[in-house]
Amino acid sequence: MITLQIPVKFTNEDTIYTTKQTNIELDCTICEGKGTIVYNNKNMRCPECHGKGKFTSNKKVHTVCEEPFVISTTKISISSNGNPTVKYKGRCGFSNYNRSEDNLFLSKEDAQKRCDELNKAKISIRVEDIVIPDSFAQTQPSIDKIQAKLDYYKTNDKFEKYIVINRNNELQDGYINYLLCKLLNIEYVTVAIEV
Ligand SMILES: [Zn+2]
């Protein structure tokens, strides 16, 4: 018999949180969200939104689930090259979700941070066009950090976090991932734009 030892980040003894994508709700512009309009001194159901007061837009936003994520099943799969992937089946209140370790958090604050990052506008940009301020260019990131981020990229085929730039294409965060783009000859990368 062979015993496999697979490290898992969470067990069902942990209180953990996850995030979900929801459509943005916009207030009806005719009734200003009230659902009724005044006509001949009478309150009438708003004909624009049929009394709902809101419209569901196609735009999605990441939010933190109110209720903690309760793990019901932990699924471990091992690829042919021996890399384990851990996924969790669970529920928040009455909703069921499948989540990877990346999308589970030990606090609501951490989950919110992830949402903030995901909700930033993203564009694909030529790595060459990213401007590196001196404050980054003068730093010497540790080999360990570079190795860890490279390992993540190789395993997941994406960076753990988006490179962040401002409206002038100047790097704000993610210098190591930028260096990896150069190293790996990546031509275009998806970046988050800070406003
Ligand atoms: Zn309305």
Range of the domain at 61: 18-118
Q: What pLDDT sits at residue 59?
A: 84
Map tokens 């903030």 to a residue: 116
Q: What is the CA(45)–ligand 1 centre distance, in A? A: 8
Q: What pLDDT sits at residue 156?
A: 87
Q: What pLDDT sits at residue 127?
A: 97
CATH number of the domain encompassing residue 167: 3.90.1530.10
Q: What is the CA(62)–ligand 1 centre distance, in A? A: 26
- Give the pLDDT of the chain (195 residues) as one tens digit per residue: 989 888 899 998 899 999 999 998 899 999 999 999 999 999 999 999 999 999 998 888 999 999 999 999 999 999 888 888 899 999 999 999 999 999 999 999 999 999 998 888 899 999 999 999 999 999 999 999 999 999 999 988 899 889 999 999 999 999 999 999 999 999 999 999 987
Q: What pLDDT sits at residue 117?
A: 85
102 and 125, same domain (yes or no): no
Q: What is the CA(43)–ligand 1 centre distance, in A? A: 12
Burial zone of 146 (CB within 10 Å; 0-12 exposed, 13-18 middle, 19+ buried): middle
The alpha-carbon radius of gyration of the chain (Å, integer) is: 23
Q: Spell out the residues 6+ positions from residue 4 whose beta carbon is closer than 8 angstroms to its own.
A: 78
Domain contains 69: yes
Domain contains 61: yes
Tokens of 75: 């699924």
Q: What pLDDT sits at residue 185?
A: 96
Q: What total number of domains does the chain contain? A: 2
Of the candidates 188, 185, 159, 186, the residue with the CA atom closest to the CA atom of residue 174: 159
Q: What is the CA(115)–ligand 1 centre distance, in A? A: 30
Domain contains 5: no
Cα distance from N-terminal residue to C-terminal residue, the chain: 56
137 and 59, same domain (yes or no): no
Q: Which of 77, 92, 118 is where one domain is finished?
A: 118
Q: Which of 118, 141, 165 is where one domain is finished?
A: 118
22 and 114, same domain (yes or no): yes
105 and 26, same domain (yes or no): yes
Q: What is the CA(55)–ligand 1 centre distance, in A? A: 9
What is the C-alpha to C-alpha distance for residues 165 and 131, in angstroms, rounded to an integer?
9
159 and 105, same domain (yes or no): no
Q: What is the CA(171)–ligand 1 centre distance, in A? A: 43
Q: What pLDDT sits at residue 81?
A: 84
Q: What is the CA(94)–ligand 1 centre distance, in A? A: 30
161 and 187, same domain (yes or no): yes
Task: Specify the 3-state DSSP secondary structure of 57.
Answer: strand
